[in-house]
Structure 1
Amino acid sequence: MSNAINQQIATELNVRTEQVNAAVTLLDDGNTVPFIARYRKEVTGELDDTQLRHLESRLSYLRELDSRRQVILKSITEQGKLTPALAAEINSADSKTRLEDLYLPYKQKRRTKGQIAIEAGIEPLAELLWDQPQHSPEETALQYLNPEQGFADSKAVLDGARAILMERFAEDAALLEKIRRQLNTHAELTSRIIEGKEHDGAKFKDYFDYNEQIKNIPSHRALALFRGRNEGFLQLSLNADPNTEQTVRSSYCEVIIAEHYHVSLGTQAADAWRKQVISWAWRIKILMHMETELMGILREKAEDGAIQVFADNLHDLLMAAPAGPRVTLALDPGLRTGSKIAVIDETGKVLDTATIYPHQPHNKIVESTKTVVALINKHNVNLIAIGNGTASRETDAFVTKLIKDNQLKVQSVMVSEAGASVYSASELAAKEFPNLDVSIRGAVSIGRRLQDPLAELVKIDPKSIGVGQYQHDVSQSMLAKRLDVVVEDCVNAVGVDVNTASAALLTRVAGLNTTIAQNIVNYRDENGRFDSRTALKKVARLGPKAFEQCAGFLRIMNGKNPLDGSAVHPESYAVVKAISAANNKPVDAIIGNTEFLRSLKAADYTDTNFGVPTVTDIISELDKPGRDPRPEFKTATFADGVNEVKDLIPGMVLEGVITNVTNFGAFVDVGVHQDGLIHISALSDKFISDPREVVKAGDVVKVKVMEVDVQRKRIAMTMRLSDEPGQEKPTRQTTNTATPRQQPSSQQTRQHTPPASPKNNPPMGGAFAAAFANAKKK
């Protein structure tokens, strides 16, 4: 069966079966996806990490499917009911749904009405009336009376016969598959407000009287519907015949049942009874089963879509451009309790802390200014990070004036503080900073997040970063698993400096776990910095397998061997030595020598262990050793004087940062403490099916304000700068004809890094309002 599974995966990935066989062997041997993707390209035929993740997921599913198949085959065999035809159908089942359909008639279950009727000897009557409708049901039923078992009259007998057939139809896998196809193609999901809940459930207003084909419902709408039902406001049901008048009681699915069993209903004696059997089987047995199943599938797909949105946004945030190793003064703004300050060095080490009170109700502006200026001069600060929470714009204005008045050469940057409070109160933060107040720890996190978003955000549960869509409505175990994969891939794509990384960051490196990561930190604390990758072998519990998996992703900067600071794996150092020897150049002279490296032919340095793909990667890595795949650090410019929602005027063109991308649009921060929504239709002049075709979290964009609701703090924006507020949106063009407007004249440069979560302001009216209202509980 393993060969069949591998062949199926190969077909899905459109690759050779040999590639899948090799990848499966590597995974089963305990190799990680990042390691296989980067260092075993010859073995897998250059399967990339995306293909390998799909392969890993499908392998798990298909193995579970095969395991369940064997249990079912064994169960039916033990019942003495396994026929060659049934065995063939079970062995060819390609989904868990199909497998369970086939098992339904043989599954052990509590005694049903049909089983009781069979035990009373009524089954022959059911088959007689079904196959020979010329017999009168009432008269024939009298021959099967069995008072001792509860069948004392013809009505009870006929009810028992009907129950036998209904249960038989509901367990017919072939019939269920036909009906499933019909419903998947034509059925609608309907939603109605529960009477008396109109006021309390106002946020679900768009779903008070709603119908949509189940195949067309997008994930965010499906999750909104399920949330409305779970909160007790909406009643959901499946409409199998949306194009049929409500007065018509029969369903096309009843026609499917009749045709499946080759039944033609006419005027024969038992036809009315047979019609009733079909109708009851559909409405009481099959419809209920299918409604539960299809809603379950819809929810599963919606959850998967929502989880993917979260994963994509998390990836973009983790891979956001780092400001780099610069001495940073981090400010966690506050009003009554003051603004907390932490000064950190290039490596994130805390140098100094303070608390200032420049805002209401204290207004200690002079004292606060002296404190900040003194800290900047004392520690040669060249970067200021300001958290984007309460009092952030007031603090931003305070810092801007301070820099100008004192002619300081310092850059001020607004940083998202989403999740910082979660980290500051965590056990990890307490262990890292046992002598610091919780609020000061938050400031440290803000500063470090600016220096290196990836290194700091890995300390926070991804679900607390808040870039998901309906994240609390999806399977938390599935969400955690998917997000862990994203974090692992990002960390290994960037690489980790083993001499500065936290245990939390090291834990995410391929081949390492929490224990080994902490052992690395402990060894570093006791023995000083690592001067080579081979020194890692001295760390407790870091054995040969773990070293093989992690070594290429760990960097030793300025160590004994210059290759230790690159992504070249120690197992490949021999290739570099061969290049060095063949060209009579020392390794130091090769690294970074672009002209020389580009003259090399990878094929000249291959052997039985290292083929062209690996050698090509090595040469590329030598050209730019330890290169960071993240983009260049870039910030947004917020308009001066635009600090609150009330400052926004329709028609304004502003610069902002995309904070979150969902299926229905993107949220953007323009510095007013409330994120605006750019609906998917307003992201581009071209038709797009996915907002990520245009933007991703962290992008700096220009937007136009279209509508503002100050009272409800709702902002609708567009990236189609030719759109005008209050006018019909022009038809989408095949080419981008948008022309930017003049920025507001009164403007001062403020820097802003991508926030980690939207502040959830709804868009304007109609579908916008519904989308936003239901996105608010992420």
Structure 2
Amino acid sequence: MLPSIEQRLAAELSAKPAQVAAAVGLLDEGATVPFIARYRKEATGGLDDIQLRMLEERLRYLRELEDRRAAIIASINEQNKMTPELLDAVSHAEDKTRLEDLYLPYKPKRRTKAQIALEAGLLPLAEALLADPMLNPEEEAAKYLKPAFSTEQGDNPGVADAKAALDGARQILMDRFAEDAELLQGLREYLQEHGVVESRVIEGKEEAAAKYADYFDYSEPLGVIPSHRALAIFRGRREEMLNVTLRLDSEAEKPKWDAPLNPCEARIAQRFGIANNNRPADKWLADTVRWTWRIKSFLHLDSELMGSLRERAETEAIKVFARNLKDLLLAAPAGPRATMGLDPGMRTGVKVAVVDATGKVVDTAVIYPHQPKNDWEGSLHTLGKLAEKHQVALISIGNGTASRETDKLAQDLIKLRPELKLTKIVVSEAGASVYSASEFASRELPDMDVSLRGAVSIARRLQDPLAELVKIDPKSIGVGQYQHDVGQFQLARSLDAVVEDCVNAVGVDVNTASAPLLARVSGLSSSVAQAIVTYRDTHGMFASRAALKNVPRLGEKTFEQAAGFLRIMGGEDPLDASAVHPESYPVVKNILADLKKGIREVIGDSGLLKSLNPGKYANEQFGVPTISDILKELEKPGRDPRPEFTTATFKDGVEELKDLKPDMILEGVVTNVAAFGAFVDIGVHQDGLVHISALSNTFVKDPHTVVKAGQVVKVKVLEVDEKRKRISLTMRLTDSAAQGGKAEPSRDRANDAKRMAQHKRQETREPALGGAMAAAFSKLKM
């Protein structure tokens, strides 16, 4: 038998079976990944959140595999067709594909041509011709004629003539050939290596399919197609703009029927001892092989491999979305500073919301600086008064329609009122409209017009991106790549895991957090999160973590899962503001007793805490890993893992595409990262693309290893296409626009050359099809 699920998981994660068994046990008990990763290190041997997420996903797959294995064994046993050899093969199948290959001959099917032929007694004819090609097919077939008859399965046409007999015998052999598990796996592997995906524009749709122009005459090996290109051609096919096909690399043209056997057909023939030696049955058998490949095996593998390609592409797209979402959620918060949010608009005006340092709305307005009213001076006056009245420090501007013009307005205000010391930042407004119309927004801002709620969200997401963005469905935040083309259930599950990990990595102030933010804390459901807010509103701020136990429906198990991630700032016990779990408070007391000091004397004393030996305080329940974590937390209790807040300084006078010049070096902010590069806002309200080949002087396989959403970077302008609104940038500041973006020679030049060749096709395609959030180049949301 196969190793146990725990043993297989241990091998995949390079962990010990005991570690995996402990993690599986905790997950089955309802523990969350953040809780296990942080507070159960002794049990799992220190498996981190990434390993645990992988374990959780693979555990789900392997359990589904075992359930399917049991169902298949039961089905074959019911048919009385199980043999010791088959049972051994099924029991040792390592994945679902192998399992289904073995089950294929026994899988209940509708009444096929092969089954009708078997009912008509044509099996001996099929086996005779396969065993002895010296037999004459027509002469042998004449022996099996039979009139029509009826069976329990239905009417059978019988065998009218020799041709009907040979057709029936062929159907029997075709099923046998196509359902051979070993052969099918060999054909699959060959097609994976030698398959080519082609796309062609559907005749007459050239104009309608213009956005797919790069795929009108496209081909690429199946095994190397990157996810964004695969999803693009699948979308084109779904929209009936492209014909997408799979073929062998040796068959650029559609093969003729009498052509020599292709490599896959040759494998089928070899498997069953079929060869062309000019014997009477050789041609009939060769044609049977060809029919098997074209009608059965290839169609089956075409569907399967194209489905696998789509699945891999979707998986990669979901990973891209998840990484971008994590970067966005963990972006540096501007912090508790009075902020003015501007939700740009033309005819409907610019919506203005001012929030204080705590995020409370203190003022709103609507101004009309743009067409048709063009009240520029009046708008500046209104904004100046609001900024002065509420001591605004930051202006947060949404990046939607009229963003460029509104940014110019903010710039004029800063120049007009330098004494206010204002700083302006353009932020993504993705999802703000979704929040505005949400049930939570109507509860949170009940008396505010829907149009103004977006401005509030834009202001708050600058103060604390994580706290604000958790109020929005992650799929609406807009940092995905072909997010509407992927499995929505898998996408939601992945993104929910990212949000959960981010919220718990930062921790939550239980006395200020919204219900949506609390609902992302380990162990807290939406109903319990709302109960916490309701209790807080009724009884006032929580003075301690222990007081949370008074909240209805917040039981011991929930408290255990959640308490370590909830913060009580300025409460009765300083530990309540830290990531030290209440279950570990006795350990801290032992340390304090040993030091003969109070908690307030020890917290923050880095020199003292680093001098302590964790092993001295370890016991059966809390080992060295937990003690080490406690000491680190006491050094900087409740520390925020997010980076310091910084802003890009956009160059004065560079406000539109026409202001950009080749070789100009600018500062910008990464707005989105895709598989082919990164989009960067450089202050002209049209994001530029830094292709993957221009991210670094060394080879880059994954752009996320170099840049992330929200990062401030320096770039050089390589090319500007005003007509198509495309900006080509490089982060290799030694590159030269005059040299077509080529850098000075480097030690890694060979890798650079290889990379450029590898991505040449990609470089000419992605700009028209990439970037869901940045909408760079064409602002085309695929």
Match of residue 226 from structure 1: 234
Match of residue 425 from structure 1: 437
Q: CA deviation at 1:729?
A: 4.1
- Report the more deviating stretch, 621-630 or 379-388: 379-388
The yes-or-no answer on 1:353 pairing with 2:364 is: yes
- CA-to-partner distance for each residue in 1:221-244, whole Å, 9 max, x for gaps? 111111111111211211124367
The yes-or-no answer on 1:185 pairing with 2:224 is: no
Q: 1:164 aligns with which of 172, 179, 182?
A: 172
Unaligned 5+ runs, structure 2: 149-156, 750-758, 771-779
Match of residue 283 from structure 1: 294
Q: Which amino acid aligns with 1:257?
A: I
**Is the 1:205–1:770 Cα contact (8 Å) retained in structure 2?**
no
The yes-or-no answer on 1:194 pairing with 2:202 is: yes
**Is the 1:661–1:697 Cα contact (8 Å) retained in structure 2?**
yes
Q: CA deviation at 1:731?
A: 6.6
When residues 380 and 209 of structure 1 are mapped into structure 2, their CA distance, relative to the original with a 3 A threshold, is closer
Structure 2 CA distance for aligned equivalents of residues 3 and 588 of structure 1: 52
Match of residue 340 from structure 2: 329
User: Pairwise mapping of residues 19-38 of structure 1 onto structure 2 (< 5 A)?
Assistant: 19-38=19-38
Q: CA deviation at 1:721?
A: 2.3
Q: 2:509 aligns with which of 475, 486, 497?
A: 497
Comparing both chains, which one has the higher relative contact order based on Cα–Cα distances under 8 Å and sequence gaps of 6 or more? 1
Q: 2:729 aligns with which of 708, 711, 717?
A: 717
Q: CA deviation at 1:76?
A: 0.5
- Report the more deviating stretch, 702-711 or 566-575: 702-711
Match of residue 598 from structure 1: 610
- CA-to-partner distance for each residue in 1:537-590, whole Å, 9 max, x for gaps? 111111111110000000000001100000000000001000000110011111
**Is the 2:349–2:366 Cα contact (8 Å) retained in structure 1?**
yes
Q: 2:711 aligns with which of 686, 690, 699?
A: 699
Task: Give the secondary structure class of the aligned counterpart of 2:420.
Answer: coil
- Report the more deviating stretch, 281-290 or 333-342: 333-342
The yes-or-no answer on 1:312 pairing with 2:320 is: no
Task: Give the secondary structure class of the aligned counterpart of 1:542.
Answer: coil
User: Pairwise mapping of residues 498-537 of structure 1 onto structure 2 (< 5 A)?
Assistant: 498-537=510-549
The yes-or-no answer on 1:686 pairing with 2:698 is: yes
User: Pairwise mapping of residues 428-577 of structure 1 onto structure 2 (< 5 A)?
Assistant: 428-577=440-589
Match of residue 154 from structure 1: 162
Task: Give the secondary structure class of the aligned counterpart of 2:426.
Answer: strand
The yes-or-no answer on 1:771 pairing with 2:766 is: yes
Match of residue 238 from structure 1: 246
**Is the 2:274–2:282 Cα contact (8 Å) retained in structure 1?**
no
Task: Give the secondary structure class of the aligned counterpart of 1:237.
Answer: strand
Task: Give the secondary structure class of the aligned counterpart of 1:190.
Answer: strand
- Report the more deviating stretch, 361-370 or 685-694: 361-370
When residues 3 and 142 of structure 1 are mapped into structure 2, their CA distance, relative to the original with a 3 A threshold, is closer
Q: CA deviation at 1:130?
A: 0.4
Structure 2 CA distance for aligned equivalents of residues 272 and 369 of structure 1: 87
Task: Give the secondary structure class of the aligned counterpart of 1:607.
Answer: coil
Q: What is the TM-score with the length of structure 1 in the denominator?
A: 0.94
Q: CA RMSD in A?
A: 1.9
Match of residue 740 from structure 1: none
Q: Which amino acid aligns with 2:211?
A: K
When residues 734 and 548 of structure 1 are mapped into structure 2, their CA distance, relative to the original with a 3 A threshold, is farther
- Report the more deviating stretch, 703-712 or 87-96: 703-712
- Report the more deviating stretch, 316-325 or 631-640: 631-640
Q: CA deviation at 1:269?
A: 1.3
Match of residue 612 from structure 1: 624
Q: Which amino acid aligns with 1:403?
A: I
Task: Give the secondary structure class of the aligned counterpart of 2:670.
Answer: strand
Match of residue 628 from structure 1: 640
Q: What is the TM-score with the length of structure 2 in the denominator?
A: 0.93
The yes-or-no answer on 1:207 pairing with 2:215 is: yes
Match of residue 746 from structure 1: none
Structure 1 CA distance for aligned equivalents of residues 219 and 275 of structure 2: 33
Give the number of equivalent residue pairs: 752
- CA-to-partner distance for each residue in 1:271-305, whole Å, 9 max, x for gaps? 11111111110111001001000000000000000
Q: Which amino acid aligns with 1:130?
A: L
Task: Give the secondary structure class of the aligned counterpart of 1:598.
Answer: helix
Task: Give the secondary structure class of the aligned counterpart of 1:291.
Answer: helix
The yes-or-no answer on 1:253 pairing with 2:248 is: no
Q: 2:385 aligns with which of 374, 384, 393?
A: 374
- CA-to-partner distance for each residue in 1:615-634, whole Å, 9 max, x for gaps? 00000000000000000101
Structure 2 CA distance for aligned equivalents of residues 385 and 316 of structure 1: 19
Q: CA deviation at 1:186?
A: 1.4
Q: Which amino acid aligns with 2:208?
A: D
Q: CA deviation at 1:516?
A: 0.4
Task: Give the secondary structure class of the aligned counterpart of 1:210.
Answer: strand
Q: CA deviation at 1:426?
A: 1.4
**Is the 2:734–2:743 Cα contact (8 Å) retained in structure 1?**
no
Task: Give the secondary structure class of the aligned counterpart of 2:30.
Answer: coil
Task: Give the secondary structure class of the aligned counterpart of 1:147.
Answer: coil
- Report the more deviating stretch, 356-365 or 602-611: 356-365
**Is the 2:354–2:361 Cα contact (8 Å) retained in structure 1?**
yes
Structure 2 CA distance for aligned equivalents of residues 206 and 397 of structure 1: 36
Q: 1:295 aligns with which of 306, 312, 317?
A: 306
**Is the 1:685–1:733 Cα contact (8 Å) retained in structure 2?**
no
**Is the 1:241–1:251 Cα contact (8 Å) retained in structure 2?**
no
The yes-or-no answer on 1:77 pairing with 2:77 is: yes
Task: Give the secondary structure class of the aligned counterpart of 2:734.
Answer: coil
When residues 356 and 193 of structure 1 are mapped into structure 2, their CA distance, relative to the original with a 3 A threshold, is closer
Q: CA deviation at 1:337?
A: 2.5
**Is the 2:194–2:221 Cα contact (8 Å) retained in structure 1?**
yes
Structure 1 CA distance for aligned equivalents of residues 542 and 398 of structure 2: 34
**Is the 1:121–1:144 Cα contact (8 Å) retained in structure 2?**
yes
